[in-house]
Structure 1
């Protein structure tokens, strides 16, 4: 039995205008002994920006900014910058986030060299309509039928020509591997219901034609699809992969479809170091589930959404959104988790 310790609420809402409705789904990075945490801050009306705080210990806040570090400035993110992740690749920090414009949820990126000033690079995920997406992925054999789920939902519910013409495929949960693999950037992303990987040399390579070819052979890019009882709806990347002696450790979220609605868990998997598309193992049971009142009750109930993790003094600290309202943190001995994964 894994001994994971929940360390409580790290951040909660404040009276400040930019975070009076929720603070959750944080990115975290350990750099030169300092722990930097970037979190989704939501104000009334579901408008999201990125807040910042500095930790003095993995479960203790030293300094918290009273203004957002990043906020929506462009049309593609007009309703919010959601669910950041951050990774350092070589000398650059890459912050990925979901850019939301009230209709579309796309993967966007901002870069920094000092974790203070970020330069937005825009949306990097494909901008296909769901009709185009369906035509492309129909060329990819053996896909889980849930890859057509959103297309069927939108078609059946008839969104109307104005919305339907603007609606693009939702591509979320972007996160970089912390080093290049075979000379290329490696990026995890989530097209419902699984986790996929894309390799590229330069951001300029991510063209319409690139993504068209990618989706026509989508089955070749899948890292993990849902298969266990607690993944009965879908899964998605959680925390950027961590390199260990046993493989890439991936903390991910899993949505379980229950009679009471979705229940989100955090779980763990190991991917091959040289070829992360090879799944070595995943936990048979969830790593973290919503059991405490502040995890079970909030803006959206029964949500554990991991989005950042660090290794500190042989412990893995996992930072997660709880009930879409607050930030929690949990810890576990890294070796214990790796040993359990090997057993599973």
Structure 2
């Protein structure tokens, strides 16, 4: 059953994303650490340019983060790091097998990086994961959401592990505090949860705010794409949904500006799904998976990993997505008024 925050959410068709004709915009290089796959890029605007922190895997299969700085068009790669800008710390037991799926939130004059820290459970406390890995079946895979900060996308400071006792993924902070507290969207399988903290170290979980929908394209699991984008009508949250055939698609939801636990609306159908060859064949076929979007020069630019192999771009005019958010907000308000009258 839906939570109280979602039970009256408006379900409304949203504008579909349009693929950029230059796709894929980022592919593997000959560098040993990124010569297999590059995908799932965080996106943020820094000094007027879109910066992509992308997940890369090379000869050792370990996930590291590379940096690509895009030109003013938000498409063309202007600069690309020859070495990882962020990689697993040798002395950090949480991330011995990689740093994965980054998401970047600007807050004040700094940037907060949330990423999946991958490691193994100790042999005395095995927990077998169903996740396929190059290390074989039955591996006790452990994943946590880790948080770091940066001011320049080249130097990072590790800050905390959120919810240290839970397997967790798909984390991102809201771009402002609420009552002096950080809010974190995260995924405790199979749904999107909301956590709160005053110091990034001690977390309370509100529980799920967005649930799977049986019999639909997002019936198996859901998780956020990038951090939510502010609009005058609510927080625009792009998310991924997975069906029983394990096809990954993107949808969108709208959260209340002042109380993000409240889901105002949600798209009925995907706004992007695997159709192109580079999305249907690769390391993991039939996947479009985003870790970041930016509101940039009148467009919502959604950067996404295709088949866990390359980085691509899809776009929608800001005015079209804001029109959807405005309609959702209006319908939600009317539904709320009718519900209140019905209780009188």
User: What is the TM-score when the length of structure 2 is the normalising length?
Assistant: 0.80
2:119 corresponding residue in structure 1: 101
Pairing partner for 1:27 from 42, 49, 62: 42
**Once superposed, what is the RMSD of the aligned Cα atoms?**
1.6
Shift of 1:201: 1.1
Shift of 1:343: 5.1
Contact 1:283/1:341 (8 A) holds in 2: no
Shift of 1:341: 4.9
Query: What secondary structure sits across from 1:294 in the alignment?
Result: helix
Contact 1:108/1:125 (8 A) holds in 2: no
Pairing partner for 2:98 from 80, 85, 110: 80
Shift of 1:45: 4.0
Distance 2:184 2:237 in 1: 13
Shift of 1:342: 5.2
Matches within 5 A, 1:113-152: 113-127=151-165
1:330 corresponding residue in structure 2: 314
Structure 2 spans left out of the alignment, 5+ residues:
1-13, 121-140, 329-344
Query: What secondary structure sits across from 1:339 in the alignment?
Result: helix
Query: What secondary structure sits across from 1:328 in the alignment?
Result: strand
Pairing partner for 1:68 from 75, 84, 89: 84
Pairing partner for 1:43 from 39, 42, 58: 58
1:222 corresponding residue in structure 2: 208
Contact 1:39/1:52 (8 A) holds in 2: yes
1:158 corresponding residue in structure 2: none
Contact 2:15/2:321 (8 A) holds in 1: yes
Shift of 1:338: 3.1
Matched, 1:12 2:50: no
Query: What secondary structure sits across from 2:320 in the alignment?
Result: helix
Contact 1:282/1:341 (8 A) holds in 2: no
User: What is the TM-score when the length of structure 1 is the normalising length?
Assistant: 0.80
1:233 corresponding residue in structure 2: 220
Matches within 5 A, 1:187-202: 187-202=184-199
> How many residues are aligned here?
289
Shift of 1:25: 0.4
Distance 1:243 1:2 in 2: 17
Distance 2:110 2:297 in 1: 25
Which stretch shows the higher mean deviation, 50-59 or 87-96? 87-96
2:128 corresponding residue in structure 1: none
Matches within 5 A, 1:296-335: 296-335=280-319
Contact 1:281/1:342 (8 A) holds in 2: no
Query: What secondary structure sits across from 1:331 in the alignment?
Result: strand
Higher helix share: 1
Distance 1:204 1:107 in 2: 11
Query: What secondary structure sits across from 1:221 in the alignment?
Result: strand
Structure 1 spans left out of the alignment, 5+ residues:
128-168, 215-219
Contact 1:95/1:111 (8 A) holds in 2: yes
